[in-house]
Amino acid sequence: MFHRQNICFWRMFAMSSSHLPYFAEGTVIKGFGRGSKDLGIPTANFPEHVVDKLPEDIACGVYYGWANVDSGEVYKMVMSIGWNPFYKNTKKTMETHIMNVFKEDFYGSVLKTVMLGYIRPMTTFKSLDELITAIKSDIGTASDLLESKEAQDFKKNNFFKNTQKPS
């Protein structure tokens, strides 16, 4: 059983990696309201038209990279792409947790992200606590991976300096 799961993971990793780095930009919209309330881990959500632009074969799962809001400072981030099976979503989402404490919500602001790597596939969890533990582990993994020189170079990418509002 483990062997089969391991092969599936590496297939998803290979498919996703062929699309990385992946740059996305859009106006932050209200999500389901669970990131901060249920999880204590706030997320910024892209609108459907940004999600629809994802390559068809990009794997659902958790990714890491960089993000900024309204061309501000660039921060580490983790992003969940998929239907979030724990909550049984019917709509695919891109939910970004930016590793920074913001003083207030930034709905309507321009969010820019670059996904650099794949952490794990989307999965369901037996409890909310198990989900929170996994997300915190993802955040730690992302933080460590983003310390590499290769990852640090993307933090300075000109993509984050452009100030045009997305359509």
Q: Where in the sequence numbering do the catalytic residues fall? A: 95
**Pairing assessment for the beta strands 22-27 and 93-98 based on DSSP bridges:** unpaired
Tell which residue, 95, 160, 100, 157, has the closest CA to residue 122.
95
Report the C-alpha gap between 106 and 46 in whole angstroms: 12
Count of residues making up the chain: 167
Count CB atoms within 10 A of the CB of residue 48: 14
Which neighbouring-strand residues pair with 113? 24, 67
Residue 16 zone, left/alpha/beta (φ > 0; ψ -120 to 50; rest)? alpha
Q: Which residues of 109-118 are buried (b: 16+ CB within 10 A; e: fewer)?
A: bbbbbbbbbb
